[in-house]
Structure 1
């Protein structure tokens, strides 16, 4: 896949995430956003806060990596290292295997303000779209984005962009499932008839 094809695909995916946020998540009441099907599961807000925590690290790291002037053709085929493939495989939405998150990235048991979490999530998505536009003139095969949990390891710029977007899709889908469980629970809950 060429750099321009990858970037176009990622822009579409981030735009789709913003659409889900606007149509499915933001209109919901706080009770729906805070609902947890089980004590161990994450609510919609926890899913988005988890993504906010990752964005606080990766958006600045991507901005810094993209500030470096390209040293080669920017429309080359995007290559992937072993680390990049492994990182993507772990977070891609189709991989239903549960992954253990780092303690500082786990929002479970956090007091979350719905408006603040949603606003920050939207801002991070808009920043990511801006970064994807900046990446059109970057060498996506250049290593330059540190891995959050072990910063000595570096992903290539293209790998990092793919990882970030796939990770977001995975947890937005998890948030959508939490909303579906909330709706299903409300529909099956016994009602008091007077």
Structure 2
């Protein structure tokens, strides 16, 4: 996929995430935001806190890669995925509903969370949006974004961006399911 088409797809994905946040999650009362279907499931806030934890690492890493590029943009070159980038994307893509193990430090289960989690997530979405114009000027195939759990491995700029956005989509969908259960179970009889 050409960089302009790739970034257009990313922009649409982000817009969809923002719409879900505005229309489905920001309107919920705090009890619904913290409601868990089972002791092992995540609440709406836990889903978003998980994303915040990843965003605290990947957003600055992406920005760093864009501020200190190692190559010029190549608008005619297809945005490619390495073997590792493809596998990383496959694990987090929203269509993959298979539960994945998360690193302990990225697992927000049993955390005391407040609606401030929503504000941080909105801020991270805005920061991600602000990076898109820089992405249009970058070489998206440059290996420049260290992987959070093993920093010697690096993702290409484009695949790191795809990973972050797909991961957001996956967990926002999970948050929407948690919200639907919460609204159903917390309704007065």
Same fold (TM over 0.5): yes
Task: Report deviation, 1:21.
Answer: 1.0
Q: Which residue of 2 aligns with 1:98?
A: 99
1:68 aligns with 2:68: yes
Q: Please say if residues 73 and 140 of structure 2, whose CA atoms lie closer than 8 Å, have aligned partners that are also in contact.
A: no
Q: Please say if residues 93 and 167 of structure 2, whose CA atoms lie closer than 8 Å, have aligned partners that are also in contact.
A: yes
Judge which range, 16-25 or 49-58, deviates more: 16-25
Q: Which residue of 2 aligns with 1:150?
A: 150
Q: Which has the larger radius of gyration?
A: 1
Judge which range, 88-97 or 61-70, deviates more: 61-70
Runs of 4+ deviating beyond 3 Å:
none
Q: Please say if residues 61 and 146 of structure 1, whose CA atoms lie closer than 8 Å, have aligned partners that are also in contact.
A: yes
Q: Which residue of 2 aligns with 1:79?
A: 80
SS of structure 1 residue aligned to 2:153: strand
Task: Report deviation, 1:71.
Answer: 2.7
TM-score by length of 1: 0.93
RMSD of aligned residue pairs (Cα, Å): 1.2
Q: Distance in 2 between matches of 1:75 and 1:34?
A: 47
Task: Report deviation, 1:183.
Answer: 2.2
Task: Report deviation, 1:4.
Answer: 0.9
Change (3 A) 1:33 1:72: closer
Task: Report deviation, 1:72.
Answer: 4.8
Change (3 A) 1:138 1:72: closer
Q: Distance in 2 between matches of 1:147 and 1:121?
A: 21
SS of structure 1 residue aligned to 2:79: coil
Q: Which residue of 1 aligns with 2:170?
A: 170
Aligned runs of 1:8-157 on 2, under 5 Å?
8-69=8-69, 70-114=71-115, 116-157=116-157
SS of structure 2 residue aligned to 1:151: strand
Q: Which residue of 2 aligns with 1:159?
A: 159
Count of residue pairs brought into register by the alignment: 188
Q: Which digits, 9 at most, give the CA deviation of each residue in 1:28-78, with x for residues without a partner?
A: 100110010000000000000000000000000000111134335234201
Judge which range, 151-160 or 70-79, deviates more: 70-79
